[in-house]
Amino acid sequence: MPIVPPQQRPDVRRDRTDVRQAEAALVEHYPHLVRLAYVVLPPGLGRHRRVLAAHAVVQRALPAVGGGAPTARVPAQSRRSRPTGEATGTDSGTGTDTGTAYGWMRLRVLRTALAYERRPRWWPGRLPAPAALRPTVPVVWGLRLFPRAGGVDELALDRALSRVDGAARAAFALQVLEGLDASAVRDLLARAAVDDPADAVRRAAGLGSPDRDGARAMLGSGEFDPCTVQTRPSDLLRRRQRVRAAAVAAALCVLAGGLAVAVEESTRATGADRRPAGALAPVLDPAELLRTAAEQWADTSRVDFTAWPARGGRTSDTELLGRALRAWAEPPGSVRVSATPGTGTVPPVEPPRLLFAGEVDGAAVVLFHDSADRVVRYAEPLSGTGGAALDFARTDDADVTTGGAVVIGRTGDGARFLLAPWIAESTTRDLLAPDTPGRPLAVGRDGVTAAVPRPALGGACDAWPVLQLRSSERIVEKHAFLVTDLGDLAPVHLTYTPKPGRAAPARQPREATGPEALLAWARTACSLRTLSAAGVRSVNNWAFAEQKLPEGGGPADWLCTRAETWRGPGRALVQFLPAAASPTEPATVVADRGDTALCGRFGQHVLAGTHWKAPSGRWYVLAAGSRAVTRIEAKGAVRGSADGTAFAVRAPRDAEVELTAAVRGGGTLPAVY
């Protein structure tokens, strides 16, 4: 008879050994791995869900015996490798530690954390994604968890990290927290299935300051520590109401199951009057809308859209509110939907906050704010056959200024704004008339302004209307600021950073209401046209250098106009302002960079150049650098150098010149074009 070989059994004992090694590494380095996951996870999750997700990512990284054991065995001599360059073993000499228990666990943590950003774009932010793309988040009932707040530097770094994708955040964290070099980071990201590891490393380099130890200290602070958290209760009264409502709803569902099916079939046939079904029904119930007390803005440390009360003459119109919520949940074909770049249009996962419901310029308008930091405007015509409109805009980390107003309606060349409850005074002024004082702007009892002329985004640029708003002294004493309409729901906050003083520390952005700021904006306002409808949050004019022009050409200023978007990426325009006969003569744009840290908190050094014609008709190459520049050098068609932050050399009109600068503390800086 034939001899049948014995059935092979998996080496379960070896699997268990490997899993125990991985578990030992996880337990030993758990806080470090959770911090790494927290940095890599999308900041858009919110701090509470990001804390829970970071713990879930690390805990889920531990494989199951027999099914999810490591494919590469963990070497016995490397069972307890350590983070931050202390590993005892490496894989292929790259320094990535993927052959050690810790390195292997770190790789699994990276893969799972990065998978959060590979969820389908249409997947709601708080609804569960497919199992392959999400870890199981621990459940915390009745509490909100937050890492301890850091300082200004930590907050700025967190905002900078939110402006890049997970791959760049992972590259930054691996270099700063793990101490890996660029080559090792690229190798590890490739193993984590990142499409372009080299690009991620390049973008991460734009996040970190030259002081890597400082960046490590910031990432090591409480701001990025999901293992040391503060707790706050969720809405206790609403939670009790929901529990009671859930019990009643369950009983009703049991008694009226058949009737519910019939009603669902009937409402399907009614088209526009269809109500959302399933889990979204209580979320989109007008009775569940959040409403803030009228005076809460003066008694809270969070002065943003969560402090706005519900205003307008139709806040009790449940039919209007219901139509707005249903259009949000499932917009019919007759509703025009628009969103600023990077803003999701999915239904809310929690009842949104009602900010306004009323009539504006022949339309019924409803304004919501939801937990995903979005402002949503629904508008339907009061008469006629026109369709409704649904507009979305991001409002991440809005504050006194960026949360100070919202466009509530537009007609023709004008726009009306809904002002925040803390705005005590409102005027309008023209940026192209810097010496003309502002004119009072009428505001209704519901916070809606009179129509304000809109900047002309095409044709002649002969005026640029802006709002000058002043906060109540109950918030900030004598705080006035400028905002302008660039076509989005949220107007853009305009600021100014003055010229560097001699031997003075670096200046910080300030409100653009002073004479010097207004003169600078008078010559650069028309460049704002290139930023229309781009989801811009704020624009800062930084006067980074001044220069005396050759041949008695007078003084010239160099400005970097930086636009910050709500979704993160920034854009920088470098502009040259020679002496001019008119205070509104447009500046010359000499460089334009998109998706850059240039001229921001993490791009504080800049060098730029341009060709300039002297009154005599001779041409020069001019260059100027920011305050840390100590020497500028030109190579190419002409050669020359000069100490300091300014440089000029005779050159043909079209001469090709390469400009570089030496920076205080060492290093060179190329010119931006």
**Rounded to an integer, what distance in angstroms lies between the CA atom of residue 136 and that of residue 156?**
30
pLDDT band at 81 (very low <50, low <70, confident <90, very high): very low
Contact present, 579 and 555 (Cβ < 8 Å): yes
**Rounded to an integer, what distance in angstroms lies between the CA atom of residue 637 and that of residue 625?**
21
Percent of the chain having pLDDT more than 70? Answer: 78
Q: How far is CA 92 from CA 40, 148, 571, in A?
A: 25, 39, 40
Range of weakest confidence among 273-287, 396-410, 485-499: 273-287
For the segment 324-345, the average pLDDT, to the nearest whole number, is 92
- pLDDT of amino acid 221: 80
Query: Where along the chain do its domains lie?
Result: 12-232, 237-268, 270-398, 414-604
- pLDDT of amino acid 219: 83
User: Which residues sit opposite 356 in a β-bridge?
Assistant: 311, 367
Helix (H, G, I), strand (E, B) or coil at 42: coil
- pLDDT of amino acid 233: 66
What's the mean per-residue pLDDT of the chain?
82
pLDDT band at 212 (very low <50, low <70, confident <90, very high): low
**Rounded to an integer, what distance in angstroms lies between the CA atom of residue 477 and that of residue 499?**
25
- pLDDT of amino acid 130: 41
Q: Which two tokens stand for residue 165?
A: 């994708």
User: 3-class secondary structure for 133-158?
Assistant: HCCCCCCCCCEEEEECCCCHHHHHHH
pLDDT tens across 501-549, in order?
655 556 789 999 999 999 999 999 999 999 998 999 999 999 999 999 9
- For 167-219, the DSSP string reads HHHHHHHHHHTS---HHHHHHHHHHTT-S-HHHHHHHHHTTS-S-HHHHHHHH
β-pairing, 336-339 vs 607-613, is unpaired
pLDDT tens across 594-621, in order?
989 999 988 989 999 999 999 999 999 9
Range of weakest confidence among 163-167, 540-544, 589-593: 163-167
Q: What count of residues does the chain have?
A: 673
Contact present, 607 and 572 (Cβ < 8 Å): no
β-pairing, 492-497 vs 465-471, is unpaired
Higher pLDDT, 103 or 240: 103
pLDDT band at 571 (very low <50, low <70, confident <90, very high): very high
**Rounded to an integer, what distance in angstroms lies between the CA atom of residue 420 and that of residue 93?**
58
- pLDDT of amino acid 25: 80
- pLDDT of amino acid 302: 87
**Rounded to an integer, what distance in angstroms lies between the CA atom of residue 356 and that of residue 309?**
8
Contact present, 191 and 174 (Cβ < 8 Å): no
Q: Which two tokens stand for residue 372?
A: 């995903």
- pLDDT of amino acid 335: 94
CA dihedral 647, 652, 653, 654 (to 10 degrees): -100
**Rounded to an integer, what distance in angstroms lies between the CA atom of residue 409 and that of residue 407?**
6
**Rounded to an integer, what distance in angstroms lies between the CA atom of residue 242 and that of residue 12?**
47
Closest by CA to 53, choosing from 125, 105, 123, 120, is: 125
- pLDDT of amino acid 224: 84
Q: Which two tokens stand for residue 209?
A: 């300051």
Give me the phi and psi of 427, to 5 degrees please: -135, 165
Global pTM reads: 0.62
Q: Which two tokens stand for residue 285?
A: 């119930």
pLDDT tens across 631-650, in order?
999 999 999 999 999 999 99
Can you say whether the dihedral through the CA atoms of 158, 160, 162, 164 is positive or negative? negative
Q: How far is CA 245 from CA 26, 254, 601, 626, in A?
A: 42, 14, 49, 62
Instruction: Please give the distance of CA 57 from its chain centroid, rounded to a whole number.
Output: 23
- pLDDT of amino acid 260: 43
- pLDDT of amino acid 504: 54
Q: Which two tokens stand for residue 452?
A: 């304000």
Can you say whether the dihedral through the CA atoms of 317, 319, 324, 325 is positive or negative? positive
For the segment 159-188, the average pLDDT, to the nearest whole number, is 88
Residue 589 has pLDDT above 90, yes or no: yes
- pLDDT of amino acid 499: 85
User: Which residues sit opposite 496 in a β-bridge?
Assistant: 510, 541
- pLDDT of amino acid 27: 82
pLDDT tens across 389-436, in order?
999 999 988 999 999 999 999 988 899 999 999 999 999 999 999 999
